[in-house]
Amino acid sequence: MSMAVSAAWGMAKDRACALSLRLVRSPDRSYGEVMVVSNGTGQRSRALRSSVLLHAVMAVSGLIMVLFLLAHMYGNLKIFEGRQAFDGYSEYLREVGEPLLPRTGVLWIIRVVLLISVLVHIYAAFTLWHRSRAATAGAGGWRYETTKNRRGVQRSYASFTMRWGGVVVGLFVIYHLLHLSADYVAPGGASSSPYQRMVNGFSIWWVVLSYVIALIALGFHLRHGVWSAFASLGGNSSVARRRGLNQLATVVALLILVGFLIPPLVIFAGWVR
């Protein structure tokens, strides 16, 4: 049986007419310039560099970091159980898995997974940022001469601050690791006790303020990021699902924002010392 390829849609044909009309208008454009469409071979390897795949990579690495944040937030809230419980949890994270794994083995596995996630996330973000600048002559949503409706029709604050907001969160993570993890930046005094490091740091107003600002930036990043991650992975399957995923993202962002804000604020208020 012979197989024929049938054009499924009339537009290609209509547009061909439109194109020839335009050629009459501007005779310097010839068919010779028309880009070649390639089908068939090499599509898989090209798709591995596609924006769709880069977004999927961002989604997966981002969701891994969200899972880490939820666990980290749980650990921080142990501050309410007192110094021993908090420092004991820190010690537990180092011992867990022994003797199957060496001491701090699990911790290092988590650190390596997170490091890979962060690097991959940043690589994809900058590659896509570059592509989107190229696709808008470097001006993004501000490429029109008019100054009216520059914020578009419906886009949210969270959605158009993803890139710079991500940079802010990234810088915060470096500062934060130097502070509470490495004990290298130690406002209020260094200590071998993680509990004491937090109390020392969060007794100072500007330390608390820096965390509050960074966490709000993180909250916005997650508000759009969590929804976008599921949509990039193919999870947005209907108008109702779009609403549901956005609600989920709001819940996750608020949970993480509030959960992380509680320890610095209660320490600053003097309720935990």
Partner 1 sequence: MNVTLRLWRQHDQDAAGRMVSYGVDGISADMSFLEMLDVLNEQLTAAGDDPVAFDNDCREGICGMCSLVINGIAHGPEGRTASCQLYMRHFHDGDTIDIEPWRSPSFPILRDLIVDRSAFDRIIQAGGYISAPTGAAPDAAAMLVPKKDADRAFDAAICIGCGACVAACPNGSAMLFTGAKATHLGALPQGQIERNSRALAMGNQHDAEGFGGCTEIGECTAVCPVGIPLDMISRLNGDVLSALRHNST
Binding site for ligand HEM (CB under 6 A): 69, 72, 76, 90, 93, 107, 111, 114, 169, 173, 176-177, 180-181, 194, 198, 211, 215, 218, 260, 263-264
192 interacts with partner 1 by CB under 8 A: no
The token duo for 127 is: 């590659």
Q: Which residues of 97-121 are buried (b: 16+ CB within 10 A; e: fewer)?
A: eeeeeeeebbbeeeeeeeeebbebb
Residue 125 C-beta: closest distance to ligand HEM, Å: 14
Q: What distance in Å separates the CA atoms of residue 186 and residue 188, rounded to the nearest whole number? A: 6
**Intra-chain end-to-end CA distance of the chain, in Å:** 82
- Work out whether 144 is an interface residue with partner 1 (CB under 8 A): yes
The partner in contact with residue 55, picked from partner 1, ligand HEM, none with C-beta cut-offs of 5 to 8 angstroms by kind, is: partner 1
Q: Which of 67, 140, 164, 269 binds partner 1 (CB under 8 A)?
A: 140
Instruction: Characterise 46 by phi-psi region: left (phi > 0), alpha (psi -120 to 50), beta (else).
Output: alpha
> What is the separation of C-alpha 141 from the centre of its chain, rounded to a whole number of angstroms?
20
Nearest 5°: phi and psi at 224? -85, -35
Distance in Å, CB of 173 to partner 1, minimum: 21
Select the binding partner of residue 236 from partner 1, ligand HEM, none (C-beta < 5 to 8 A, by kind): partner 1
The correct pick among 30, 99, 153, 192 for binding partner 1 (CB under 8 A) is 153
Task: Tell me: does residue 232 bind partner 1 (CB under 8 A).
Answer: yes
CB nearer to ligand HEM: pick between 54 and 263: 263
| Inter-residue contact 272 to 199 (CB < 8 Å) | yes
Can residue 24 be called a binding residue for partner 1 (CB under 8 A)? no
